[in-house]
Chain A
Amino acid sequence: MAFITANWNPLGEAFYRKIELYEMGWSLRDGLKECLVAAAPYGGPIALLRQPQRPSSSARPQLEIYSSSGANMASFPWKSGPVRQLGWTVCDDLLCIQEDGTVLIYDLFGAFKRHFSMGNEVVQNQVLEAKVFHSPYGTGVAIVTGASRFTLATNIDDLKLRRLPEVPGLQGAPSCWAVLTQDRQTKVLLANGADLYILDNTSCTPVTPPGLSPQACSIVNMAVSFSYKYLALFTDSGHLWMGSANLKDKLSEVDTKVRTPPKQMVWCRRPKSQQPSVVIMWDRLLLVAGECTDTIQYTLDEESVCVAELDGVRIVGGSRHELLQEVPSACQDIFKIASMAPGALLLEAHKEYEAASFGKCFLSNYPPEPFVSMCRDLKVLNSVREYTVGIPLTHTQYKQMTVQVLIDRLVYRKLYPLAIEICRYLKTPEYQGVSRVLKHWACCKVQQKEEPDESIAHAVSVKLGEAAGISYSEIAARAYECGRTELAIKLLEFEPRSGEQVPLLLKMKRSQLALSKAIESGDTDLVYTVVTYLKNEMNRGDFFMTLRNQPVALSLYRQFCKHQEQDTLKDLFNQDDDHQELGNFYVKASYKEKKLEARLSLLQSAVDEYNKAKNEFAAKATEEEMKLLRFQRRLDEKGEALLGLSLQETLHALLTSNFHKQAEQLYRDFRVPDKRYWWLKLTALAEKDDWEEMEKFAKSKKSPIGYLPFVEVFCLCGAAEAAIERRSEGEISTVLSRCSPTTDRALLERLNRARSTAAKK
């Protein structure tokens, strides 16, 4: 403890320290010499492409993947083309960018995932240099070709290649370059000798960094900070310029007194720190430069690589893995010599009394949550920094990446038990935590080719059985992708959401099963989807047969046909020998028909069907309808527009136009009940004011409706006449209230008209 500040080096206001993270577990004969190296940020994996020991045509380079502690995760000979650059995606996939512009993607364990190309023109011109970068849009790739042209892909998961405009005067590769993300746009900053350009989608703009020392003839290296906010330039005169990435402000300029172009240069700045600082690496020297003229220098005793982090720089060498960072202010407060900050006092007290959370109990109003959660965080961090896991995260990085992502990373490394333990320890809700890990475990499990379906399905169901919110269909989908259809079907059985099972079942061509699952879910849209699918997949006979066995689907399909495919509807009824519905179908169709003959023939079909359905009433009624239509047509020829009227309306029309004989005939032919006929005739005659005919009618035989209606009609008409004559609103209203809206329609209209004139008076 006493020596904790021993490796602290002051630089301006701040201290910097270099601490060892791991002694590397790998055994590399020549260290990192002759290696292409890529290490992912946030303590991610390290990839090495080692050139063969003895260069010969048959020897192939070796691609190796290690954890941060140097534990081997994959190793295989590189059989594809020459590689220019390695890089890691945000989700820990390895990108290998080849000279011909092909980018190959491997997972953490060296399994090939897919590949894409950076454009056809690259094949000829070849990639000179390439960079992998991260932005809010995901992982991107930038290349510069032999023709000195830049091509960008901002997000490799949604590949859109952008070829940037030409840079005037540039031959070959620029002296140095970097990718920037500004104003939601990705740009390239490049130096060609002393000239600096910004390249965006449409233009190439020359820029000058404010206050760059005039001695410089050429910019030989540049670095952009983790957040894309800051830029550092290194000139051939040994000057380091630091400023904002938009080139508006200069932060400082330091003369390093080293004129050799550096091997690597990275920002080393923790969030909220006042001090901008950059780490520069030469063959044997590591230098930290900040705002002041002083620098910190470390000697390097082995070939190393710098990895930029959010809050520092990791230095990976052949034997050691170190972290170089500005000492956090909390640490400074505690450990700085003669510090009187509360933290320092507390530490002293702790040493005296050996109580881990000493002092906490003296604070009654202090909420305990921050203390508890910090302890939890530290425990989680310690467990992932563990040598066998090898993820050297700092607290700042951990907070930035979130627990969710950390769990994802552990899952990706197949460290399922640790992931589950952390979820349980942090009390992450089950479906976000444990269930998610188990799902990944199961997805991995189903890919184990040697194990039989039964035992995998059993193992999965036993482990996942109780976990909430597991999506078995996702696991099944993975099994199906691996060609294990039977296993997929077994797994789907565990899926409680029948809706989720359907798409996969369809994909696996288990359409019958898909249909019953869709029906089970109650989601009719899903049923429709399967039905549509079946309709396209099967021949008509089989399709109808399938529907027949699934009444729910059948009635839905009928609904669909009713609106969309009338002909199919008919076929469906035919297949089921549903003569009643067929009859109805023809009746409906008859109303859409303009020509009387066609209409009659459709009605005849309906009659036939109704007869087959043994629906005597419907058959007879439809025959009557045909009879009426034919009757109406005969009268139509005499100039009466009757077609389409109901029997009652037809009779009424005939009676009011003095076709008494025809009315009489209809009345007999259609066996209209006397009562109704008398009512009809009475109102028709009253409407016409044909009192003479009325008298004849009343006397023709004994009225089946009695004589009261006659009297009422007389009275009503009389009263109405009188009221209208006197133009009395009140009287008209009284008569109106006695009128029936249907039988006394004509009278009603007259009265209403009279009333409104009376009201206007």
Chain B
Amino acid sequence: MSAHLSYGRVNLNILREAARKELREFLDKCAGSKAIVWDEYLTGPFGLIAQYSLLKEHEVEKMFTLKGGRLPAADVKNIIFFVRPRLELMDIIAENVISEDKMLSPRDFHILFVPRRSMLCEQRLKEQGVLGSFINIDEYILDLIPYDGDLLSMESEGAFRECYLESDQTSLYHTAKGLMTLQALYGTIPQIFGKGECARHVANMMLRMKREFAGSQTQILPVFDSLLLLDRNIDLLTPLATQLTYEGLIDEVYGITNGYAKLPPEKFAAQKKQGEVGKDLPTEPKKMQLNSAEELYAEIRDKNFNAIGAALSKKAKIISAAFEERHNAKTVGEIKQFVSQLPHMQAARSSLANHTSIAELIKDITTSEAFFDNLTVEQEFMTGVDTDKVNTYIEDCIAQKDPLIKILRLVCMQSVCNNGLKQKILDYYKREILQTYGYEHMLTLNNLEKTGLLKPQTSTRNNYPTIRKTLKLWMEDANEQNPNDISYVYSGYAPLSIRLTQVLARPGWRSIEEVLKMLPGPHFEERQQLPAGLHKKRQQGENRTTLVFFLGGVTYAEVAALRFLSQMEDGGTEYIIATTKLINGTSWIKSLMDRPEAP
């Protein structure tokens, strides 16, 4: 279930196990049968920590979704609310508790706050007169969730919006706390690098927390050599671009939530054995878990989509060759060995079939004219072609009322690649959008301007070309099949965030001081004192391990680029990736939209 977490450079299963242990301990605190009432938002992230079976082992018999009114009937001793510390949720809980029928057998109430208790929420429960009804009020510190063997996510959707739009740094506090937990399990990280305001804030909190915990230090040999904290707003461009890796495209087209993608069912129906009754097309979307536990997926997820066809057919050949082996099995021993491998081979075959179907689905889209046109415009912007003029493709898309998010992605991209748009051009786009999609989107446009995704050009000159040239953000000859540079993940564009990471490892940021100054926020380096005797003695040729933390989200393509760097033979550094949330341009822009609710 979780073995894939322990295969990487750093055994992230330790973190998962620690989280599971804490969950079990809490559940055991509430003796007897239980029902869990879920804050719906939490079910996804929790799925990465524990399945229903774990809960069941600890006498969880029922699960409900948190909603107003009376709680559903359940013959259990304990009702446990699993919630985020939000005031609006407290009101719902209070309603539940108040409308509980006192005449029926009394049930014990408990609250588990995720990831942290909140005095504000407890105060609200007190005002509602229900605080006394709870036997246990506890917190379940779930900051960083192991998402894959080399990937941690806080699964906090609103982090970017809160930090950069609403100046609410709660998620940064959780980040710092999460990093402290990580250090408790994997040792103090001796070096901290960072770029951006939020990165600075997180580093400051970490250093402060370390002082606070002085004396209770863990005596663990450090697993990580360094930590790199990166603000999302130093690289607003990358998430706007369409990801071109296999995994990135699945996310762009279908969306991956908490490690699962919902795919259109039609293509998967054919896999049922032929001649089976019921030819009807399945109507429910097919839900697939996507992580490195699946061998084939681990192999192809980070490839450029144009290399997927070849990879799949190669795999197909290997699998059918393996099945052919049976003809060579002559002795009983050989047959036995063949049979013992059958389950694995069958799994590989069905995995291959699944991914062939997904690849076909995606290919239908990537080969469409619309996709091509969109990509062409994106690449024009990224290479700096005509970014200072109204773009006719965007105009046409608005005229044909393409999805608003697509338009916003393109307009923002143009603005970012031009270091802001001329007032006239910006106003033109905004007016077109308001007239076509409705005036209510003024609030959204305002949000985009506040976060710097859209902005009017000020007198300063456009520095994007300098950044692009210095960091080699555009590579003309990106090799999609056998990549030799990270630019393959966007077929030419090398994500800025990853270039910064790459330069930091070699030759160091000193070589790009000029560019760093052009990007927002300070850059810094901090050292954390290690307890005596815990200094790591590096073996000859041993790679460094760096944890890269993206504050405000990271895309699958960026993750792929870092994995590519980890695998480079002379790279010298392996990366573990952490983020507040895995995002793509669509989900990101969506999180910044304001939709005034109708009366």
- Among A547-588, those with CB < 8 Å from B are 551-552, 555-556, 558-560, 563-564, 580, 584, 587-588
B276 located at the interface, meaning its Cβ lies under 8 Å from any Cβ of chain A in the complex: no
Q: How far, in whole Å, are A280 and B210 apart by their CA atoms in the complex?
A: 60
Query: Quick one: which of B333-369 are within 8 Å of A by CB?
Result: 364, 368
Residue B201, interface by CB 8 Å = yes
Supposing A431-B215, A524-B170 touch, asked if A676 and B399 sit within 8 A by C-beta, the answer is yes
Assess A551 versus B432: contact at CB under 8 Å? Given A587-B596, A676-B399, A743-B401.
no
A386 interface contact, C-beta 8 A: no
CA distance A531 to B447 in the complex (A): 26
By beta carbon, the residue of chain A nearest B428 is A673
In the complex, B212 has a CB within 8 A of chain A: yes
Q: How far apart sit A742 and B212, CA to CA, in the bound complex (Å)?
A: 57
Q: In whole angstroms, how far apart are the Cα atoms of A397 and B416 in the complex?
A: 75
Question: Does the CB pair B400–A528 fall under 8 Å?
Answer: no
Contact among A618, A645, A680, A737 with B399 in the assembled complex (CB-CB below 8 Å): A680
> Is B438 part of the binding interface, using a Cβ–Cβ cutoff of 8 Å?
yes
Q: A525-B118, A591-B599 are in contact. Are A628 and B439 (CB under 8 A)?
A: yes
Complex Cα gap A617–B456 (Å): 12
Q: How far is the CA of A528 from the CA of B211 in the complex (A)?
A: 24
- Interface positions, chain B 385-409, Cβ under 8 Å from A, are 395-396, 398-403
| Interchain CB contact under 8 A, A646 and B168 | no
B293 within 8 A of A: no
Q: Contact between A646 and B216 (Cβ–Cβ < 8 Å)?
A: no
A588–B443 Cα distance when bound, in Å, is 8
List A contacts of B201 (CB < 8 A).
522
Known: A430-B215, A593-B599. A675 touches B120 (CB 8 A): no
A224 to chain B, nearest CB (A): 31
B87 to chain A, nearest CB (A): 6
Once the chains bind, are B439 and A676 in contact (CB under 8 Å)? Answer: no
B439 x A469 contact (CB < 8 A)? no
**Interface presence of B437 (CB below 8 A):** yes
Per the 8 Å Cβ criterion, residues 10-45 of B in contact with A are none
Q: A526-B119, A584-B446, A648-B437 are in contact. Are A621 and B431 (CB under 8 A)?
A: yes
Residue interface bits B156-171, CB-to-A below 8 A is 1, else 0: 0000000000111110
Decide if B398 touches A528 in the complex (CB within 8 Å): no
Does B435 contact A647, Cβ atoms closer than 8 Å? Answer: yes
Q: Chain A residues near B50 (CB, 8 Å)?
A: none
Given A468-B216, A742-B400: A552 touches B439 (CB 8 Å cut-off): no
- CB atoms of B432 and A563 under 8 A apart: no
Bound CA span A646–B337, Å: 68
Is the Cβ of B87 less than 8 Å from the Cβ of A675?
no
User: A552-B167, A675-B399 are contacts. A646–B87 as well, Cβ < 8 Å?
Assistant: no
**A468 contacts B214, CB within 8 Å?**
yes
Q: Encode A587-630 as 1/0 by CB contact (under 8 A) with B.
A: 11011111000000000000000000000011001101100100
CB-based contact A584/B430 at 8 Å: no
Q: Which residues of A contact B123 (CB under 8 A)?
A: 529, 532
Asked if B166 contacts A555 (CB within 8 A), the reply is yes
> Is B477 close to A, CB under 8 A?
no
Chain B CB within 8 A of A523 CB: yes
Q: Specify which chain B residues have a CB less than 8 angstroms from the CB of A593 in the assembled complex.
A: 599
Complex alpha-carbon distance, A496 and B168, angstroms: 24
In the assembled complex, A679 has its CB within 8 A of some CB on chain B: yes
A85 within 8 A of partner (CB): no
Q: Which residues of B contact A482 (CB under 8 A)?
A: none
- Interface pair B215/A469, CB less than 8 Å apart: yes
Q: Which residues of A contact B440 (CB under 8 A)?
A: 587, 591
Q: Are A592 and B596 in contact (CB under 8 A)?
A: yes
Q: Please, which residues of chain A bring their CB within 8 A of the CB of B169? A: 522, 524, 552
Closest CB of chain B to A697's CB: distance in Å?
A: 15
Given contacts A497-B212, A675-B399, are A591 and B597 in contact (CB under 8 A)? yes
A579–B431 Cα distance when bound, in Å, is: 21
Determine the distance from Cα of A697 to Cα of B225 in the docked complex, in whole angstroms. 69
- Interface residues on chain B, size class: 35 or more
With a CB–CB cut-off of 8 A, which chain B residues contact A563?
Answer: 87-88
Interface: B7 (CB within 8 A): no
Please tell me if B223 contacts chain A, counting CB pairs below 8 Å. no
In the bound complex, CA of A578 to CA of B59 (Å) = 54
Say yes or no: is A374 at the interface (Cβ < 8 Å to chain B): no
Give complex CA distance A564, B435 in Å: 32
Tell whether A435 is near chain B: CB-to-CB under 8 Å. Answer: yes
B598 sits at the interface (CB 8 A): yes
Find chain B residues with CB under 8 A from A116 CB.
none
Task: Please give, as numbers and ranges, the residues of chain B lying within 8 Å of A469 by CB-CB distance.
Answer: 214-216
- Interface hits, B44-92 → A, CB 8 Å: 85, 87-88
Mask, B418-435, CB within 8 Å of A = 1, is 000000000100111011
Chain B neighbourhood of A588, CB < 8 A: 443, 594, 596
Contact for A621 among B370, B403, B430, CB less than 8 A: B430
The one of A430, A498, A560, A646 in contact with B438, judged by C-beta atoms closer than 8 angstroms, is A646
> Which chain A residue lies CB-closest to B215?
A468
Q: Is A513 an interface residue (CB 8 A)?
A: no
Q: 1/0 contact trace for B422-466 toward A, CB 8 Å?
A: 000001001110111111101100100000000000000000000
Most buried by A among B120, B204, B398, B597: B120
User: A496-B211, A617-B427 are known contacts. Are A551 and B167 too (CB-CB below 8 A)?
Assistant: yes
Chain A 107-146, CB-CB to B under 8 Å as 1, else 0, gives 0000000000000000000000000000000000000000
The reply on A670 being an interface residue by CB < 8 A is: yes
Interface contact B597-A592, CB-CB below 8 Å = yes
**Chain A neighbourhood of B446, CB < 8 A:** 580, 584, 618
Cβ of A539 within 8 Å of any chain B Cβ, yes or no, is no
Q: Smallest CB–CB gap between A576 and chain B, Å? A: 14
Task: Give residues 477-527 of A contacting B (CB, 8 Å).
Answer: 496-498, 520-526
CB proximity to A under 8 Å, residues B202-223: 204-205, 208, 211-212, 214-216
A740: Cβ under 8 A from any B Cβ: yes
- CB contacts (< 8 Å) of B597 on chain A: these are 591-592
B120 partner residues in chain A, CB cutoff 8 A: 525, 528-529, 532
Closest approach, in angstroms, between the C-beta of A523 and any C-beta of chain B?
6
Q: Are A622 and B439 in contact, with the CB atoms below 8 A?
A: yes
Residues in A neighbouring B401, C-beta threshold 8 A: 648, 742-743
Contact of A679 among B166, B204, B400 (CB under 8 A): B400
Shortest Cβ gap from B354 to chain A (Å)? 22
Which residues of A are found within 8 Å of B439, using beta-carbon distances? 621-622, 624-625, 628, 646
New A-B pairs, 14, CB < 8 Å, besides A430-B215, A588-B596? A525-B170, A528-B120, A551-B167, A556-B168, A587-B440, A588-B594, A617-B427, A618-B442, A646-B434, A648-B437, A649-B438, A673-B432, A740-B402, A743-B401
Chain B contact residues, CB within 8 Å of chain A: 85, 87-88, 116-120, 123, 166-170, 172-173, 176, 201, 204-205, 208, 211-212, 214-216, 364, 368, 370, 395-396, 398-403, 427, 430-432, 434-440, 442-443, 446, 594, 596-599
Q: Which 3 pairs between the two chains have the least Cβ-Cβ distance?
A: A468-B215, A591-B596, A555-B167
Residues of A within 8 A of B (CB): 430-431, 435, 467-469, 496-498, 520-526, 528-529, 532, 551-552, 555-556, 558-560, 563-564, 580, 584, 587-588, 590-594, 617-618, 621-622, 624-625, 628, 644-649, 670, 672-673, 675-676, 679-680, 683, 737, 740, 742-743
Q: List 16 A-B contacts (CB under 8 A).
A: A469-B215, A469-B216, A528-B118, A529-B119, A584-B446, A587-B442, A587-B443, A591-B598, A624-B434, A624-B439, A646-B438, A646-B439, A648-B435, A648-B437, A673-B395, A679-B399
